[in-house]
Amino acid sequence: MDSETNIQELKEKVKVFCEKRDWDQYHPPKELATALIIEAAELLEHFRWKSEDESKIILEDNKKRKEVEDELADVFYFVLRIAQKYDIDLTKALERKMEENTKKYPVEKFKGSNKKYNEF
């Protein structure tokens, strides 16, 4: 379904959802950013203190996977809401950031190693 979905359509869906509930008044940037971080922390809770193998097992359990998907959807919702409400083109922003990261983290210096990570 991701391959069939348009980001603008998702932003519009979030906009309509919020407008029907008159939530614009509760969504200044700080509140949305706070909500985004809280939802990201709730996603993290599923993996806290788990080994890499244990984390993968969580995603193989249907009930736990749904919980992770729900938290990830909450994070995505707030990303979309911030972008929708404050007219941020997510595709442009991601492309620009990926260009910056390509320069900052050249393949020849970073591929296959995290040793250089500590230099930043």
Kindly indicate whether the domain formed by 27-88 is annotated with CATH number 1.10.287.1080: yes
Mean pLDDT value across residues 99-111: 92
Q: How confident is the model over 70-94, as pLDDT tens digits?
A: 999 999 999 999 999 999 999 999 9
Is the alpha carbon torsion for 11, 14, 18, 24 positive or negative? negative
Q: Tell me what the pLDDT averaged over the chain comes to.
A: 94
Query: What pLDDT does residue 115 have?
Result: 58
Give the residue extent of every domain in the chain. 27-88, 90-120
Q: Does the pLDDT of residue 116 top 80, yes or no?
A: no
Query: What pLDDT does residue 38 have?
Result: 98
Is the alpha carbon torsion for 85, 91, 9, 44 positive or negative? negative
Cβ contact 65:43 at 8 Å: no
Q: How confident is the model over 49-63, as pLDDT tens digits?
A: 999 999 999 999 999
Query: What pLDDT does residue 109 have?
Result: 86
At 100, list the tokens.
């910056």
Token pair 């890499």 is found at: 52
Q: How confident is the model over 13-30, as pLDDT tens digits?
A: 999 999 999 999 999 999
d(CA 37, CA 30): 11
0.75 surpassed by pTM: yes
Query: What pLDDT does residue 112 have?
Result: 83
